[in-house]
Structure 1
Amino acid sequence: MPQTFQWSPQKGFTASRAPNVAVVNLGDGYEQRQTKGINPLMDKYTLEFVGVDDKCGRPNVAKEAEAFIKARMAVESFYWTPSDTGIQALFVCRSWSMVKNGSHYKLAADFEQVPR
């Protein structure tokens, strides 16, 4: 059973949506379009998480989120609830990057929705 991603990203994010559509060109500029599959619209989110290493023992959100993503290695999916839809779905993270500046960390991650 997939685990749930529990960390909150920064308030700003990018949501990308591209319907999976088959197109047949019929000539004279006409075309026929039809959705493909039972999940024709899957979302992709570009998210940022910010954390700081401090001496008070507070958790570093960026490092914890990266550890969760790294443990799944883009193979194992996880549940996450996007704030724009409020609907929990399955996602994978195929790529991410971490920037460290002193004690500050910034994780940028791409979450791609996958079928249940």
Structure 2
Amino acid sequence: MIQEFKWCVRPELSMDNAPKIYERDFGDGYTQRQVAGINNLLRTFSVVVKVRRSEAIEVDKFLAQHKGVEPFYFIDPISKEKKKVVCTQWPAKVGITYTEFTCAFKEVADTKVSQSSSGECAIGDVPDLVAILDKKLEQFNG
């Protein structure tokens, strides 16, 4: 089961929006654009989590256990929606009373992809397979 990040993030977050698209320029001002994949707009959130020093170890432990690859949920303070993310970095600024983590939360659409006992990749669900095929098609088309 996917865990939930239980600590509140500060509402002053930044959000990177960069939709993945295919774009073909035909010259003379003609360009064709198309969405790349099913989930072409997965956002990256830069969030700040400020906790008492006594809680800092628990926050760090939670993020370290997910190793930057295991997804978890966090509540977006702007939209109030639950987002499935991975945290790829979380530098900490330690003060006398509080510790402030600046976390990079990358939104993900996939489920857990694991390895079977034979060493082959086990796909979690159909969107995972579609995402993999989209990447292969993108590599093939250059």
Q: Can you give the 5+ residue segments of structure 2 that lack an aligned partner in the other structure?
A: 111-142
1:110 pairs with 2:104: yes
SS of the counterpart of 1:69?
Answer: helix
Q: CA deviation at 1:34?
A: 0.4
Q: TM-score, normalised by structure 1?
A: 0.84
Q: CA RMSD in A?
A: 1.6
More contact order relative to length (CA 8 Å, sep ≥ 6): 1
1:83 pairs with 2:77: yes
Q: What is the match of residue 19 of structure 1?
A: 19
Q: What is the match of residue 3 of structure 1?
A: 3
Higher helix residue share: 2
**Moved beyond 4 Å, runs of 4+:** none
Q: Can you give the 5+ residue segments of structure 1 that lack an aligned partner in the other structure?
A: 54-58
Percent of aligned pairs with the same amino acid: 26
Q: More displaced, 19-28 or 97-106?
A: 97-106
Task: Note if contact 2:9-2:77 (Cα within 8 Å) is conserved in structure 1.
Answer: no
Paired residue total: 110
Q: CA separation in 1, counterparts of 2:2 and 2:65?
A: 12
Higher strand residue share: 1
